[in-house]
Every structure is written in structure tokens, then in C-alpha cells.
Amino acid sequence: MCGINNINSVITGTGAYLPGFVLDNAMFEQIVETSDEWITTRTGIKERRLEQEKYNFEMIGEASEQAIKNAGVAPGQIDMIIVSASAPDYNYPSTACFVQNYIGAVNAASFDVSAACAGFAFALDVADTYIKSGKAKIILAASGEIMHRIADYSDRANCILFGDGAGAAVLTAHESKEKRGVLSSYIKCENDGNKLMSIYSKSYGPSEVFDKETKIFKGGAVKINNSFITQNGREVYQFVVRILPPVLEEVTSRAGVGIADLDYIILHQANRRIIEYVIEKYGLDPNKVPINIEKYGNISSATVPVLLHELNSAGKLKKGDLIALVGFGAGLAYGAAVIRW
């Protein structure tokens, strides 16, 4: 038997859930003073998905069931469920507890992490730590966001950015001297409080986002929620382009590889210009830095696991591939991991 230092946490399954309702830029032109050209040139977003029926934990549950099936494990084998959600359905119990019940993972310990758009990176770091310590063998790490329910549709600069969706990954302990799975992880926060990004409460005449009969999107706040996301986009952009290079360099250094060695860099899909900045700075092949923001917008902590699943389900990930996963968001929180597929 291998010793505990030879335990690797390997991603053995992925899953995603994307709502069926598509909100494109042309529809936004009917709600706020904007245009398809304005949105596309500044963000790269053409459309985003909005969930009309499900709770967030149900979306995460759908993605999790797919990841579990993909991993070839049974729900009862899961030791732990770690969920990140910027806008949970309830303050408590945790969203992870609802997901546990939804998928029937009767033997799991379940809890949430709160790190905004960096949430999946934080969940992955915690999962890797538990597996490598020998305290857990199979962990589900998942993220889900229904961002339109906390969007302020009077704020044209921010309401256009966000969409809904969920992603999940199953990490499994493998004992081997060969380094596989999570090679390194790195999480950190800068003491920003809520100056650049936050969710706040506001007195805002509540109306349904969807007309009950026609299901047509018409903007407004959901009756059950008077909290809204806000951010200083310009300063957030400056923060991200400042921290991304040292984060990538630190996490690859810890893994004993270089940025040029990476087969894929999966970045949080916040803005196309941020992704293009990384490609240009390191002279990377654009195919190594995949983008799906044009289809889904910014789905907060779910962007990274959703994109990972898209690559996996398309058969683009090959055994031995080196992949960096990077998230960043309010807090200001950021994190990254390097995995060998």
C-alpha cells in the first residue's frame, strides 16, 4: 500500500446544468439603454441563460448527478459535498445540505464555501486538502448561481453581465507514486471589504422577471429577493489584470511546471478582454484558453466547472494534460489550481 503522501485527488467526473431560456442582447435593448454592439465590444457576451423554474440547489443537483454518473460512483459513496453559491436559496441550511438531499448522498458531510466568483477554486482547494489528508476518499465540489435574481435591472452596466447555471466535479482519492490530479492549489484574499463588488439590499419596486403567462423576460426584481449585486467594473478589471499573472506564476511554480507547459488555462469568464489579456501577455495559443462567455455570460463561481465539463464532454481533455483553473471575485478573493488530467 502507498503511504498517505502518495494520495492524489483526481477529478474523475464532471457535470453541468444550463437553463433553457436564452436572454440575448437584443432583448436587453427593450429594457435598458444599451445595444448588442455596446455589450459585445465591452464584454464579449452575446447571450446568457436564465433559470425560470428551479431553485439553485436543484440546478446544482442536476449538474452533480451528471458528474457522479460520469465518475462511475454511487451517491452513497460520497464522503463530502462542498458547494459555492454567491446567491444561495436560503441563508441556512447550507445549499450543500439541500444538494445532499437532492442527490441522495446519505453518508456525506455537507457545507458551503463563500468566495464569490472564486468559489469553485476555494472548494477545490478544500476538497484536495481533505483527500490528501486521508480524511475523505470521494468529494463532490459544485457551484451554482442564479445571478439574474440578484441583478439590478436599473443598472445597465452590470445587469447585462450575468447569467445562470451550475457545474460540478467529483474528486476521488488515488494512491500512486505518479503525480496526478490536483498538483497544486493557491487561494488568497485582499482586504477590500465591499468597496469594489458586493451584494446589497435596496428598496426597489418588486416585479416578476418573467410574465407569469407568457414567460417573457421583462426585467425587474424577483419578489422574494431585495438584494442586488453591484460592482465597480473598471476597478475590478484593474484588480484582475494585476493579480492574474502572479497567481498563474505561483500556482504553476508550486506544481513544478511552467505556464508554457499548460495544455489549457480555464479562467473565470468575467470579461472577454481579461481572457485576451492573458493570451497576449504570455503569447499563448488561443485554443489553450477556451472561452464560452459569449453563450452564458458571467455565471460567477459556476463558470470554471461549466467550462471544464464542456471540454471534458467534448473529448478535448486527454490523460496527462496539464490544466490550470483560475477564479477571482468579490472579497477580493482569488484562487487557482493546476491539475494533471
Active-site amino acid positions:
117, 268, 298
Pairing of strands 109-113, 80-84: parallel
Q: Report which of 195, 197, 199, 252 is spatially closest to residue 228, judged by C-alpha positions.
A: 199
Pairing status of strand 138-146 against strand 164-175: antiparallel
Q: Which three cell numbers stand for residue 338?
A: 493546476
Cβ proximity of 161 and 39 under 8 Å: no
Cis omega before residue 88 (within 30°)? Answer: no
| Cell 426584481 -> residue | 221
**Matching residue, cell 500512486:** 176
User: In Å, how far from its chain's centre is CA 230?
Assistant: 18
Q: Residue 41: how many CB atoms within 10 A of its CB?
A: 11
Residues near 262 by beta carbon (within 8 Å), at least 6 away in sequence: 252, 288, 322, 323, 324, 338
Distance CA 129, CA 302 (A): 21
Q: For helices 303-313 and 119-133, what crossing angle results, to 10°? A: 70
Residue type at position 156: R
Distance, in Å, from the CA atom of 133 to the CA atom of 13, rounded to the nearest integer, reads 21
